[in-house]
Structure 1
Amino acid sequence: MNKIAPLILLIALLTTHACGVYSFTGGSTGDAKTIQIDNFPNNAQLVEPGLSQEFTLALQDRFLRQTNLKLTNAGGDLHFEGEITQYRVIPIAATAEQTAAQNRLTIAVRVRFYNRLIEEDNFDRTFSFFSDFDANAQLGGAVLEAAYTEIFERITQDIFNASVAKW
């Protein structure tokens, strides 16, 4: 049994080395070492203060938590840029009195992704998601924070999947 253990270890090391850098969260960053995530300005018709910074930080946090890439301000192996293109609140359910019972906040983000090492992976896509909330609630404070958390979680995961997980 002692002769088999080193052989198994050698095979395991060779197998994982051949696959490149792989994260157990589902993303393969290949030979990339750095990531550049530019600020995503809010170019939507309805501008919510702080949205640009909060989204940019959420996207940076997603990649820093789920990869071993180092964040850089310029010249990143993987580079994200774009803008928030939609911030919209609409009623989605009505009561018997013909008033809104529930509202929906939708945020859309246009993302341009550049992989300097594998240019075929580059894309320009829009990602969006929504959060529903009670129409009697003001979209502010805890309601707004919960909506941002839900929306940013989904959009940043979708961007991660499209860029490094290839889903």
Structure 2
Amino acid sequence: MRTNKVFFLVFILILLSGCAAAPSLSFQGTNLDPRIQTMSIENFQADAANGPANMAINFTEKLREYFQRNTRLALVPSNGHLHFAGTIVRYEVSPVAPTGEQQGNFALVAARQRLTIGIKVQYTNSFDESQDFDQEFSFFADFDSNQTLIQVEQNLIRTIFDQIILDIFNKSVANW
């Protein structure tokens, strides 16, 4: 009986020591060609009818910071091995959850509103043009209709930008 316990304990220790050497997965890893050393990110433009005046500048800075923090690439002003440019093409608020209450003759009151932002990105990889893309990335965030957009706008924009930047990162350098 004692031999079985010792055998079982040794078996468990062998299993656990094998797990210690197992590779770990990182969802922020990159699959970059070692020749790629630089990136350039042009200032994004705002072509959406609404939104804060500094939205494009804020997005550009957040994108640059994210790539600098999560890659080994040096940021250069132009002609980087990886190049990003783009435009904010959509900024809209729409009702998403009607309450059933009417306001006026036909309008339903919305319980929730949705802010949607769309950003068109042109990406160029100077070493592998099959990786290039010209694509719109969009995301949304909802807020209660008892709040005004002005009250929640900065937090919503931050949340939406975070997701769009993650999507751009995954599409361009993580190759997800």
After TM superposition, the score normalised by the length of structure 2 is 0.77
Which stretch has the larger CA shift, 72-81 or 25-34?
25-34
| 1:133 alignment partner, SS class | strand
Separation (CA, whole Å) in 2 of partners of 1:154 and 1:130: 9
Q: 1:147 to 1:116 in 2, by over 3 A?
A: same
- What amino acid maps onto 1:159 in structure 2? I
The answer to whether the 8 A contact 1:29-1:67 is kept is: no
Using the TM superposition, give the Cα deviation of residue 47 of structure 1 relative to its aligned residue in structure 2, in angstroms: 4.2
1:101 corresponds, among 111, 127, 131, to 111
Q: Show the 5 A alignment for 1:22-101.
A: 25-30=28-33, 31-97=35-101, 98-101=108-111
Structure 1 residue 61, shift from structure 2 partner: 1.4
- Give distance in 2, aligned partners of 1:53 and 1:137: 26
Q: Extract unaligned runs of 5+ from structure 2.
A: 1-25, 102-107
Structure 1 vs Structure 2 CA RMSD = 1.5
Instruction: Tell me whether 1:135 sits opposite 2:138 in the alignment.
Output: no
TM-score, normalised to structure 1, is: 0.81
Equivalent residue number for residue 18 of structure 1: none
Aligned residue for 1:6? none
Deviations 1:104-152 (CA, angstroms, capped at 9, x unpaired): 00000100000111121111111000010111212125x1121112111
Q: Which blocks of at least 5 consecutive residues in structure 1 are unaligned? A: 1-22
Structure ID, larger Rg: 2
After TM superposition, the structure 1 = structure 2 runs for residues 118-129 of structure 1, keeping only pairs within 5 Å, are 118-129=128-139
